Amino acid sequence: MKNFIGSRALPEIQYHRPADMASLLALTGSLGGELKMVAGCTDFIPAIRSGKWVFENGLNVVDLKNVSELVGIREEGDRLIIGAATRLTDIAESESVQRSAPVLAEAVRQMASPQVRNIATIGGNLCTASPAADTAPPLLVLDAEVTIQGGDSRETVPLTKFFLGPGTTRMKPRDVLTEIRVPVMRENEAARRTRMGLRTAFVCSIISLAAWIRWDGAAIAAARIAMGAVAPTPIRLPDAENALIGTDGGPQALAETAERAAAGIAPISDLRASAAYRRSLAGTLTRRILDQCIADLRG
Amino acid sequence: MKVAVHLNVNRQEHDIEIDSRETLLEVLRERLGLTSVHRSCEEGECGACTVLVDGDPVSSCLVLAASVEGAAVLTTEGLKKGDQLHPLMEAFLAHHGLQCGYCTPGLLMTAYALIEKTDGQELDDARIRRGIEGNLCRCTGYMDIVKSIQAAARERQLGNWW
């Protein structure tokens, strides 16, 4: 059914709801025609309504929400393993995530709206691969990896190698993202994030960023900074990171880092914000979250 | 593609035939006549179509009806006892939590879930505003909505609730 002028109807759908990976792989291995794997549908349905995705000959919709192996959060040694079809709400409210990767829980809590978080999934956010994907900056600074299953083969890759361009990832058609593997944060580490948007909820971030630092007692031993909505994909900022590593994290080091962060991005001007504003925010907000990280380590 | 689905809506079991491309919004409104569920942006950006699925507020425009087989769906028709309004609705009436009423059913479902979930915790202004951030209202400016929800939470504490 159509709604208002310009809103497209959904195409003819053959709906499948596998209960486990074996059934899922049997489907992806055998179904003919166009196939789309969905979870929350919070990107899928709007993309069709707006005409971004068109399926002229109908399609197979394979719902991943019931695939038991893809849902849930568990701890495995020094890693948090998050099933790709885990709901954003469950990630935000998870005690494990709040304890071991609080920077991710905080980022997720601010995404979209409660109604969307109750159905959207972390895997969906990553696979849609918007340059502004809000789960990406925290996952990038925590050095997360993702596991991709293609038929019989399975590989785990760093998230830094996952995004190829706006809306594009290294996944091939019919590949399945199965889990996100996140190193657990340790005591001598701090991580913070923030984002800027035109309002509080329902925001497509005009910039989102996260920073992580490890303190060895005398200096910053390691640092990671990541941003979204300022480049064709979510990115790490190695040049800015190098301005921090080995320093005492004092005002001079932070100022230099913030300056390199602003210089190290490739923002565009669009209907939400100008490139100049994004660049300005990159510097200011990097400084802000680094200040918070240093305070966390001291406190 | 036609599919037979078994849905639990407002505590009633329904066996219906739907098209697998129908959203939960469409099935509730058009097949089950539950017109309190309002069609608005249809892209999950306003919350007017909010219903509860297993107690959680969701935007029904973003849910394929076939995917809620086995889940319990609740709309404002299910909050009423026959013609009797729910105390949450009475609170909205008493405290002017609505004007045109278009966002109201979605807001009521979000508010109901919020009050149930926070079970007796104090609901201050900030907590309520965070809880309803997924429901846009163009008429009220939200202040009276917040007051209505606070009043409803008090009613629940007094035992005037279901």
Radius of gyration (Cα) for chain B, nearest Å? 16
Residue A218 has pLDDT above 50, yes or no: yes
- Tell me if A117 sits within 8 A of A108, measured CB to CB: yes
Q: How many CA atoms lie within 13 A of A295 on its CB side?
A: 7
Contact at CB, A15 and B57, closer than 8 angstroms: no
Average pLDDT value for residue range A5-16:
88
Which is more confident, A1 or A101? Answer: A101
Cβ atoms within 10 Å of A199's Cβ, excluding its own:
8
**Chain B residue with Cα closest to A119:** B58
Residue A4 has pLDDT above 70, yes or no: no
How many CB pairs (< 8 A) connect A and B?
A: 93
CA distance A174 to A117: 25
Q: Are strands A145-150 and A153-158 parallel, antiparallel or unpaired?
A: antiparallel
Contact at CB, A114 and B3, closer than 8 angstroms: no
- Residue B122: predicted pLDDT: 82
**What is the value of ipTM here, to two decimals?**
0.97
Average pLDDT value for residue range A113-119:
98
Contact at CB, A119 and B62, closer than 8 angstroms: yes
Cβ atoms within 10 Å of B59's Cβ, excluding its own:
34
Residue A299 has pLDDT above 80, yes or no: no
Contact at CB, A119 and B42, closer than 8 angstroms: no
Secondary structure of residue A46 in the 3-state scheme: helix
Q: Which residues of chain B have pLDDT under 70?
A: none
Q: Are strands B50-53 and B56-59 parallel, antiparallel or unpaired?
A: antiparallel
Digit-coded pLDDT (tens) for A259-288: 999 999 999 999 999 999 999 999 999 999
Please list the residues that pair with A177 across neighbouring strands. A148
Burial of A81 (C-beta count, 10 Å sphere; 0-12/13-18/19+)? middle
Q: Given the structure tokens 């109901």, which residue do they identify?
A: B112
* Alpha-carbon distances of A78 from A94, A105, A183, rounded to whole Å: 17, 18, 6
CA distance B142 to B97: 8
Three-state helix/strand/coil letters over A29-43: HHCCCCEEEECCCCC
* pLDDT above 90 as % of chain A: 94
Sign of CA dihedral A146, A161, A38, A29: negative
CA distance A79 to A68: 20
Cβ atoms within 10 Å of B105's Cβ, excluding its own:
24
Secondary structure of residue A96 in the 3-state scheme: helix
Residue-averaged pLDDT of chain A: 95
Contact at CB, A17 and B66, closer than 8 angstroms: yes
- How many residues are recorded in chain A? 299
Q: Are strands B50-53 and B72-74 parallel, antiparallel or unpaired?
A: antiparallel
Please name which of A47, A197, A53, A203 lies closest in space to residue A113, comparing C-alpha atoms.
A203
Residue A1 has pLDDT above 70, yes or no: no
- Confirm or reject contact between B134 and chain A (CB < 8 A): yes
pTM over 0.80: yes
Q: Are strands A35-38 and A59-63 parallel, antiparallel or unpaired?
A: parallel
Contact at CB, B134 and A115, closer than 8 angstroms: yes
- Confirm or reject contact between B37 and chain A (CB < 8 A): no
Contacts of A89 in chain B (CB under 8 A): 56
**Chain A residue with Cα closest to B50:** A115
**Chain B residue with Cα closest to A203:** B45
Contacts of A90 in chain B (CB under 8 A): none
Contacts of A67 in chain B (CB under 8 A): none
**Chain A residue with Cα closest to B30:** A1
